[in-house]
Structure 1
Amino acid sequence: MVKGFRVSMLLLAVLGNLAWSFSAKANFNGKLSIKIDDLKNKQGQVCVSIFASSEGFPSERDRVLQKQCSKITDIPLSITFENLKAGSYAVAVFHDQNNDYTLNSNIFGIPKEGFGFFSNPEILTRAPKFSEAAFLVAGPDTNIQIQLKYF
Protein backbone atom coordinates (compact mmCIF):
# COMPACT_ATOMS: atom_id res chain seq x y z
CA MET A 1 0.00 0.00 0.00
CA VAL A 2 2.90 2.38 0.70
CA LYS A 3 4.31 1.68 -2.76
CA GLY A 4 0.93 2.51 -4.36
CA PHE A 5 0.72 5.70 -2.31
CA ARG A 6 4.20 6.79 -3.48
CA VAL A 7 3.33 6.11 -7.12
CA SER A 8 0.11 8.10 -6.74
CA MET A 9 1.94 11.03 -5.14
CA LEU A 10 4.61 10.95 -7.84
CA LEU A 11 1.95 10.89 -10.54
CA LEU A 12 0.14 13.84 -8.95
CA ALA A 13 3.39 15.80 -8.71
CA VAL A 14 4.21 15.16 -12.38
CA LEU A 15 0.68 16.09 -13.52
CA GLY A 16 0.76 19.22 -11.37
CA ASN A 17 4.07 20.30 -12.89
CA LEU A 18 2.75 19.66 -16.40
CA ALA A 19 -0.40 21.66 -15.74
CA TRP A 20 1.64 24.55 -14.31
CA SER A 21 4.04 24.38 -17.25
CA PHE A 22 1.25 24.52 -19.84
CA SER A 23 -0.55 27.38 -18.09
CA ALA A 24 2.71 29.33 -17.75
CA LYS A 25 3.44 28.90 -21.46
CA ALA A 26 -0.10 29.92 -22.42
CA ASN A 27 0.33 33.23 -20.54
CA PHE A 28 3.54 34.37 -22.24
CA ASN A 29 3.75 37.27 -24.68
CA GLY A 30 5.52 36.35 -27.89
CA LYS A 31 7.21 38.28 -30.67
CA LEU A 32 6.22 37.84 -34.33
CA SER A 33 8.76 38.69 -37.03
CA ILE A 34 7.47 38.90 -40.60
CA LYS A 35 9.78 38.89 -43.61
CA ILE A 36 8.03 40.35 -46.67
CA ASP A 37 9.43 39.32 -50.05
CA ASP A 38 8.77 40.19 -53.69
CA LEU A 39 8.09 43.91 -53.25
CA LYS A 40 7.89 45.50 -56.69
CA ASN A 41 9.65 48.69 -55.59
CA LYS A 42 10.42 50.90 -52.55
CA GLN A 43 7.56 53.36 -53.17
CA GLY A 44 5.18 54.03 -50.32
CA GLN A 45 4.85 51.69 -47.36
CA VAL A 46 3.83 48.18 -46.38
CA CYS A 47 0.84 47.73 -44.06
CA VAL A 48 0.39 44.57 -41.99
CA SER A 49 -2.76 43.61 -40.09
CA ILE A 50 -2.94 40.76 -37.57
CA PHE A 51 -6.26 39.02 -36.97
CA ALA A 52 -6.96 36.71 -34.02
CA SER A 53 -10.10 35.16 -35.54
CA SER A 54 -11.92 34.69 -38.81
CA GLU A 55 -14.28 37.56 -38.00
CA GLY A 56 -13.43 40.35 -40.41
CA PHE A 57 -10.42 38.64 -41.98
CA PRO A 58 -8.80 39.93 -44.13
CA SER A 59 -10.24 43.39 -44.71
CA GLU A 60 -12.35 44.71 -41.82
CA ARG A 61 -10.17 47.30 -40.10
CA ASP A 62 -12.24 47.33 -36.90
CA ARG A 63 -11.51 43.60 -36.36
CA VAL A 64 -7.72 43.95 -36.52
CA LEU A 65 -5.83 42.91 -33.38
CA GLN A 66 -2.64 44.84 -34.25
CA LYS A 67 -1.70 46.88 -37.30
CA GLN A 68 1.54 48.45 -38.44
CA CYS A 69 2.58 50.37 -41.55
CA SER A 70 6.28 50.74 -42.32
CA LYS A 71 8.23 52.73 -44.89
CA ILE A 72 10.10 50.42 -47.25
CA THR A 73 13.79 50.72 -46.51
CA ASP A 74 15.00 47.28 -47.60
CA ILE A 75 13.77 44.46 -49.79
CA PRO A 76 12.93 42.05 -48.28
CA LEU A 77 11.31 44.12 -45.55
CA SER A 78 11.07 42.90 -41.95
CA ILE A 79 8.30 43.97 -39.56
CA THR A 80 8.02 42.89 -35.92
CA PHE A 81 5.05 42.73 -33.57
CA GLU A 82 5.38 42.33 -29.79
CA ASN A 83 3.11 41.06 -27.02
CA LEU A 84 1.13 38.37 -28.83
CA LYS A 85 -0.49 35.76 -26.62
CA ALA A 86 -0.17 32.08 -27.56
CA GLY A 87 -2.76 31.23 -30.18
CA SER A 88 -3.75 31.13 -33.81
CA TYR A 89 -3.45 34.25 -35.97
CA ALA A 90 -3.64 35.28 -39.63
CA VAL A 91 -1.85 38.18 -41.29
CA ALA A 92 -2.91 40.33 -44.25
CA VAL A 93 -0.21 42.46 -45.92
CA PHE A 94 -0.37 45.03 -48.69
CA HIS A 95 2.05 47.34 -50.48
CA ASP A 96 0.50 50.79 -50.04
CA GLN A 97 2.35 52.47 -52.90
CA ASN A 98 0.44 55.77 -52.65
CA ASN A 99 0.41 56.00 -48.82
CA ASP A 100 -3.39 56.16 -48.51
CA TYR A 101 -3.65 53.20 -46.05
CA THR A 102 -6.00 51.39 -48.47
CA LEU A 103 -5.51 48.42 -50.79
CA ASN A 104 -6.58 50.10 -54.01
CA SER A 105 -8.42 48.06 -56.63
CA ASN A 106 -9.79 48.59 -60.12
CA ILE A 107 -13.50 48.74 -61.06
CA PHE A 108 -13.63 44.92 -61.08
CA GLY A 109 -12.26 44.67 -57.51
CA ILE A 110 -8.83 43.41 -58.63
CA PRO A 111 -6.07 44.87 -56.43
CA LYS A 112 -3.83 47.45 -58.10
CA GLU A 113 -1.26 47.17 -55.27
CA GLY A 114 0.66 44.14 -54.03
CA PHE A 115 -0.79 41.98 -51.27
CA GLY A 116 -0.04 38.75 -49.44
CA PHE A 117 -0.96 36.31 -46.69
CA PHE A 118 0.85 33.74 -44.58
CA SER A 119 1.34 30.38 -46.36
CA ASN A 120 0.98 32.26 -49.66
CA PRO A 121 -2.37 30.69 -50.62
CA GLU A 122 -3.32 30.80 -54.28
CA ILE A 123 -5.61 33.75 -54.97
CA LEU A 124 -8.05 33.28 -57.83
CA THR A 125 -11.53 34.69 -57.26
CA ARG A 126 -11.62 35.46 -53.53
CA ALA A 127 -9.48 36.38 -50.56
CA PRO A 128 -8.30 33.41 -48.50
CA LYS A 129 -10.20 32.19 -45.48
CA PHE A 130 -8.67 32.66 -42.03
CA SER A 131 -7.86 28.94 -41.85
CA GLU A 132 -5.93 29.12 -45.14
CA ALA A 133 -3.66 31.88 -43.85
CA ALA A 134 -3.43 30.97 -40.15
CA PHE A 135 -0.28 30.23 -38.16
CA LEU A 136 0.41 29.44 -34.53
CA VAL A 137 2.27 31.59 -32.01
CA ALA A 138 3.45 29.02 -29.46
CA GLY A 139 6.79 30.33 -28.27
CA PRO A 140 8.63 33.56 -27.51
CA ASP A 141 9.77 34.06 -31.14
CA THR A 142 7.72 33.23 -34.23
CA ASN A 143 9.10 33.94 -37.71
CA ILE A 144 7.02 33.86 -40.87
CA GLN A 145 7.59 34.85 -44.49
CA ILE A 146 5.10 36.37 -46.92
CA GLN A 147 5.52 36.78 -50.67
CA LEU A 148 3.56 39.66 -52.16
CA LYS A 149 1.51 39.18 -55.32
CA TYR A 150 0.73 41.81 -57.93
CA PHE A 151 -1.87 41.57 -60.70
Structure 2
Amino acid sequence: MVKGLRVSMLLLAVLGNLVWSFSAKANFNGQLTIEIHGLKNKEGQVCASIFASSEGFPSDRDRVLQKQCSKITDTPLIISFQNLKAGIYAVAVFHDQNNDYTLNSNIFGTPKEGFGFSSNPEIRTRAPKFSEAAFLVAGPDTNIQIELKYF
Protein backbone atom coordinates (compact mmCIF):
# COMPACT_ATOMS: atom_id res chain seq x y z
CA MET A 1 0.00 0.00 0.00
CA VAL A 2 2.81 2.44 0.88
CA LYS A 3 4.66 1.62 -2.35
CA GLY A 4 1.53 2.36 -4.42
CA LEU A 5 1.11 5.65 -2.59
CA ARG A 6 4.73 6.64 -3.36
CA VAL A 7 4.26 5.87 -7.05
CA SER A 8 1.05 7.91 -7.10
CA MET A 9 2.75 10.83 -5.39
CA LEU A 10 5.67 10.67 -7.83
CA LEU A 11 3.29 10.66 -10.80
CA LEU A 12 1.40 13.64 -9.38
CA ALA A 13 4.66 15.54 -8.92
CA VAL A 14 5.74 14.83 -12.51
CA LEU A 15 2.34 15.79 -13.93
CA GLY A 16 2.30 18.96 -11.82
CA ASN A 17 5.69 20.00 -13.18
CA LEU A 18 4.55 19.34 -16.76
CA VAL A 19 1.36 21.38 -16.33
CA TRP A 20 3.24 24.24 -14.63
CA SER A 21 5.89 24.21 -17.37
CA PHE A 22 3.28 24.32 -20.16
CA SER A 23 1.22 27.07 -18.52
CA ALA A 24 4.33 29.19 -17.93
CA LYS A 25 5.24 28.91 -21.61
CA ALA A 26 1.67 29.62 -22.72
CA ASN A 27 1.72 33.03 -21.00
CA PHE A 28 4.49 34.51 -23.18
CA ASN A 29 3.97 37.13 -25.87
CA GLY A 30 5.71 35.81 -28.96
CA GLN A 31 6.95 37.39 -32.15
CA LEU A 32 6.08 36.05 -35.60
CA THR A 33 8.44 36.87 -38.46
CA ILE A 34 7.17 36.25 -41.99
CA GLU A 35 9.64 36.07 -44.87
CA ILE A 36 7.79 36.71 -48.14
CA HIS A 37 9.30 35.33 -51.34
CA GLY A 38 8.30 35.46 -55.00
CA LEU A 39 7.43 39.14 -55.38
CA LYS A 40 6.98 39.95 -59.07
CA ASN A 41 8.10 43.57 -58.58
CA LYS A 42 8.59 46.23 -55.89
CA GLU A 43 5.46 48.22 -56.75
CA GLY A 44 2.99 48.97 -53.97
CA GLN A 45 2.96 47.13 -50.69
CA VAL A 46 2.41 43.71 -49.15
CA CYS A 47 -0.43 43.22 -46.67
CA ALA A 48 -0.45 40.34 -44.17
CA SER A 49 -3.36 39.28 -41.95
CA ILE A 50 -3.18 36.85 -39.03
CA PHE A 51 -6.20 34.73 -38.12
CA ALA A 52 -6.57 32.82 -34.85
CA SER A 53 -9.47 30.63 -36.06
CA SER A 54 -11.16 29.39 -39.19
CA GLU A 55 -13.93 31.98 -38.83
CA GLY A 56 -13.42 34.48 -41.62
CA PHE A 57 -10.19 33.00 -42.95
CA PRO A 58 -8.74 34.14 -45.31
CA SER A 59 -10.54 37.34 -46.28
CA ASP A 60 -12.98 38.62 -43.60
CA ARG A 61 -11.39 41.84 -42.36
CA ASP A 62 -13.59 41.79 -39.25
CA ARG A 63 -12.10 38.46 -38.11
CA VAL A 64 -8.42 39.43 -38.46
CA LEU A 65 -6.40 39.21 -35.25
CA GLN A 66 -3.63 41.52 -36.53
CA LYS A 67 -2.97 43.12 -39.90
CA GLN A 68 -0.01 44.98 -41.30
CA CYS A 69 0.89 46.46 -44.69
CA SER A 70 4.52 47.16 -45.57
CA LYS A 71 6.08 49.06 -48.45
CA ILE A 72 8.34 46.79 -50.50
CA THR A 73 11.90 47.91 -49.94
CA ASP A 74 13.77 44.64 -50.30
CA THR A 75 13.23 41.06 -51.36
CA PRO A 76 12.50 38.81 -49.69
CA LEU A 77 10.27 41.12 -47.67
CA ILE A 78 10.20 40.65 -43.89
CA ILE A 79 7.07 41.46 -41.85
CA SER A 80 6.96 40.95 -38.08
CA PHE A 81 4.06 40.75 -35.63
CA GLN A 82 4.36 41.10 -31.85
CA ASN A 83 2.41 39.94 -28.81
CA LEU A 84 1.07 36.61 -30.05
CA LYS A 85 -0.03 34.11 -27.42
CA ALA A 86 0.83 30.43 -27.83
CA GLY A 87 -1.63 28.87 -30.25
CA ILE A 88 -2.53 27.92 -33.79
CA TYR A 89 -2.69 30.65 -36.42
CA ALA A 90 -2.93 31.09 -40.19
CA VAL A 91 -1.67 34.00 -42.30
CA ALA A 92 -2.99 35.38 -45.57
CA VAL A 93 -0.73 37.72 -47.59
CA PHE A 94 -1.21 39.67 -50.81
CA HIS A 95 0.87 41.97 -53.01
CA ASP A 96 -1.18 45.17 -53.14
CA GLN A 97 0.44 46.65 -56.25
CA ASN A 98 -1.98 49.60 -56.51
CA ASN A 99 -2.06 50.43 -52.75
CA ASP A 100 -5.85 50.08 -52.43
CA TYR A 101 -5.70 47.58 -49.50
CA THR A 102 -7.71 45.06 -51.54
CA LEU A 103 -6.76 41.87 -53.38
CA ASN A 104 -8.05 42.82 -56.82
CA SER A 105 -9.54 40.14 -59.05
CA ASN A 106 -10.93 39.84 -62.56
CA ILE A 107 -14.60 39.26 -63.48
CA PHE A 108 -14.15 35.52 -62.88
CA GLY A 109 -12.80 36.07 -59.35
CA THR A 110 -9.21 35.17 -60.23
CA PRO A 111 -6.73 37.35 -58.31
CA LYS A 112 -4.89 39.94 -60.42
CA GLU A 113 -2.32 40.51 -57.66
CA GLY A 114 0.03 38.08 -55.95
CA PHE A 115 -1.12 36.21 -52.86
CA GLY A 116 0.06 33.52 -50.47
CA PHE A 117 -0.69 31.68 -47.25
CA SER A 118 1.22 30.27 -44.32
CA SER A 119 2.28 26.63 -44.81
CA ASN A 120 2.22 27.35 -48.59
CA PRO A 121 -0.73 25.06 -49.43
CA GLU A 122 -1.33 24.15 -53.04
CA ILE A 123 -3.83 26.56 -54.64
CA ARG A 124 -6.03 25.42 -57.52
CA THR A 125 -9.64 26.58 -57.62
CA ARG A 126 -10.25 27.90 -54.11
CA ALA A 127 -8.58 29.60 -51.18
CA PRO A 128 -7.18 27.16 -48.62
CA LYS A 129 -9.01 26.19 -45.47
CA PHE A 130 -7.64 27.42 -42.14
CA SER A 131 -6.40 23.90 -41.36
CA GLU A 132 -4.37 23.84 -44.60
CA ALA A 133 -2.55 27.07 -43.72
CA ALA A 134 -2.30 26.60 -39.95
CA PHE A 135 0.95 26.69 -37.99
CA LEU A 136 1.86 26.66 -34.31
CA VAL A 137 3.30 29.51 -32.28
CA ALA A 138 4.84 27.76 -29.28
CA GLY A 139 7.84 29.88 -28.38
CA PRO A 140 8.97 33.50 -28.17
CA ASP A 141 10.15 33.61 -31.81
CA THR A 142 8.40 31.88 -34.72
CA ASN A 143 9.63 32.24 -38.30
CA ILE A 144 7.69 31.21 -41.40
CA GLN A 145 8.16 31.66 -45.14
CA ILE A 146 5.39 32.39 -47.64
CA GLU A 147 5.81 32.02 -51.39
CA LEU A 148 3.57 34.39 -53.37
CA LYS A 149 1.62 33.09 -56.36
CA TYR A 150 0.47 35.07 -59.38
CA PHE A 151 -2.09 34.00 -62.00
**Short-chain TM bin:** over 0.9
Aligned match of 2:65: 65
Deviates more, 1:81-90 or 1:6-15: 6-15
1:82 aligns to what SS in structure 2?
strand
- 1:2-58 Cα distance to aligned partner (Å, 9 max, x none): 555544433332222111111111221111110000001111000000000111000
Tell me the amino acid that sits aligned with residue 36 of structure 1: I
Paired residues, number: 151
**TM-score computed with the length of structure 1 as normaliser:** 0.94
Unaligned runs of 5+ in 1: none
2:41 aligns to what SS in structure 1?
coil
Distance, in Å, in 1 between the alignment partners of 2:108 and 2:6 is 71
Aligned match of 1:21: 21
1:143 aligns to what SS in structure 2?
strand
Aligned match of 2:38: 38
Tell me the amino acid that sits aligned with residue 115 of structure 1: F
Aligned match of 1:121: 121
What's the CA shift for 1:67?
0.2
Aligned match of 2:81: 81
Aligned match of 2:102: 102
Distance, in Å, in 1 between the alignment partners of 2:80 and 2:10 is 43
Aligned match of 2:130: 130
2:16 aligns to what SS in structure 1?
helix
Runs of 4+ in 1 over 6 A off after TM superposition: none
Distance, in Å, in 2 between the alignment partners of 1:129 and 1:3 is 51
What is the aligned-residue RMSD (CA, Å)? 1.3
